[in-house]
Amino acid sequence: MSFIQLNNLTKYFHDSSNPAVTALNLDIQKGEIISLLGPSGCGKTTTLRMIAGFEHPNKGEIHIDGKEVFSETHSLPPEKRGIGMVFQDYALFPHMTILKNVMFGLNKWSARQKKQRAKEVLELVGLEGYEKRYPTQLSGGQQQRVALARALAPNPHVVLMDEPFSNLDAGLREKMRFDVTNILRKANTTAIIVTHDQKDAFAVSDRVVVMKDGVIQQIAAPKEMYRCPKNCFVAQFVGKTNLLTGRMDDDLMNIHTHIGKVTLPEQWQERLETVKLSIRPEGCHLTDQGAFCGEVVRVTYGGEYQELYVRLHNEPNLSKEPMLIYAPIDQDVEIGTIVTFDIKPELVALVE
């Protein structure tokens, strides 16, 4: 049995005829880290707030560790659900020391137990020795770890984190992805993280749940989702891609498109007349004798690679988007350069 079960969750807000979340079903295992990923307004934060008990669903059920915490006839208050919450702005009390911030939620513990437990979780998050400092004396990353320590202190069933990395600069953000994941693994804590950033979701999660307009689009491990997106929305939201329409060959592996023949990684299950393909930019490999040929019309430097926008010679329709290809940063490519490339089947996916 799953540790957390969300069954048919549906939420309407008073000022809208369209649901913010529609018939959402999700099973989460104990110790699993899940990310809810999607654009603003997709329902991910509403879902998190329903789990926490801050919003009441109009329909559905929520079970945590075998206990029903919400149904249409029953709802446990937030403080009785066994949930630790890390807010986007960390919500630390500026007038309290770090130790007292972490002890704050331990209401039913003795003074001695509170202090001992607070020191344990501060050590877990790498902040031993910071007990007497105040939040304003800490960096953004340190404040985030205090907020996580406070959430972990009562030994919750699950930790919920709302956009935990959004207030951090790029360098610190990368470090905190590793730190937060490491802390959650050490504590063997089940966690649900809300984010709009694909890199955040992929870096910390066992599985990613992509949402759009209140509906789950796909649930998968990061690698599987990137290589095999279910539909066009997922393909574009979890990284850059080239979307092509084509006709499937009788061999169920080759697709005839306006740029030429593209091969799938494996034979499809059934014959489809018209199909859509997602081709990742790194799946287009520059080579001297490639099957595809075109002119570079734009070059963007991405630091780790160059983004080449290539207008193929066999593509007469200038209204179509040029192909996006990633090239090594040390390769000398300019606008107007003629390049040839092949497409790796393993980074081609058939999408809805």
Give yes or no: residues 34 and 172 share one domain: yes
Give yes or no: residues 219 and 245 share one domain: no
Q: Which pLDDT belongs to residue 281? A: 96
> What does pTM read for this prediction?
0.92
Contact 165, 174 (CB under 8 A): no
Last residue of a domain, one of 233, 250, 284: 233
Instruction: Give the count of domains, the chain.
Output: 2
Last residue of a domain, one of 233, 258, 278: 233
Q: CATH code at 346?
A: 2.40.50.140
Q: Which pLDDT belongs to residue 99? A: 94
Q: Which pLDDT belongs to residue 319? A: 63
Q: Which pLDDT belongs to residue 50? A: 97
Contact 292, 324 (CB under 8 A): no
Question: Mean pLDDT of successive 10-residue segments in the chain (352 residues)?
Answer: 94 88 97 96 96 95 96 93 90 93 88 92 94 93 92 94 88 90 93 95 97 97 96 95 93 91 91 92 92 94 90 74 92 92 94 92
Give yes or no: residues 18 and 64 share one domain: yes
Last residue of a domain, one of 233, 248, 267: 233
Q: Which pLDDT belongs to residue 317? A: 64
**Backbone phi, then psi, for 61, in 5-degree steps?**
-140, 150
Range of the domain at 339: 240-351
Query: How long, in residues, is the chain?
Result: 352
**For 237, left (φ over 0), alpha (ψ -120 to 50), or beta?**
alpha
Q: 4 to each of 81, 163, 322, how far by Cα in Å?
A: 12, 21, 44
